[in-house]
């Protein structure tokens, strides 16, 4: 396995991780931002107000995107397993 193939494998792993985690993190970010704006406008400064909407948004996105996420993870894992004999070689 060459250093270039190791780097390529690592880059692909990072990209798959970002594709899977990105929508969930983005949903939490948008809900947190909108709750913060709501708190600033209404002068309600309750710290626990942000947790429940974020949890609902992230779990909702997880339920909606779970088939796509599983498909992406299975595709990546199958590519790794199919190419595994090449990883043991020196070149």
From first to last of its 91 residues, what are the pLDDT tens digits of the chain? 788 888 988 999 999 999 999 999 999 999 999 999 998 899 888 878 889 999 999 999 999 999 999 999 999 999 989 988 877 765 5
Amino acid 43: pLDDT: 86
Amino acid 84: pLDDT: 85
Amino acid 89: pLDDT: 64
| Count of alpha carbons within 13 angstroms of residue 87, beta-carbon side | 11
């Amino acid at each position: 396995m060459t250093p270039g193939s190791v780097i390529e494998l690592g880059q692909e792993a990072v990209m798959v991780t970002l594709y899977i985690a990105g929508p969930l993190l983005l949903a939490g970010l948008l809900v947190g931002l909108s709750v913060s704006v709501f708190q600033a406008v209404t002068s309600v400064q309750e710290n626990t107000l942000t947790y429940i909407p974020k949890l609902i948004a992230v779990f909702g996105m997880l339920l909606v995107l779970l088939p796509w996420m599983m498909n992406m993870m299975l595709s990546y894992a199958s590519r790794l397993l199919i190419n595994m004999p090449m990883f043991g070689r020196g070149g």
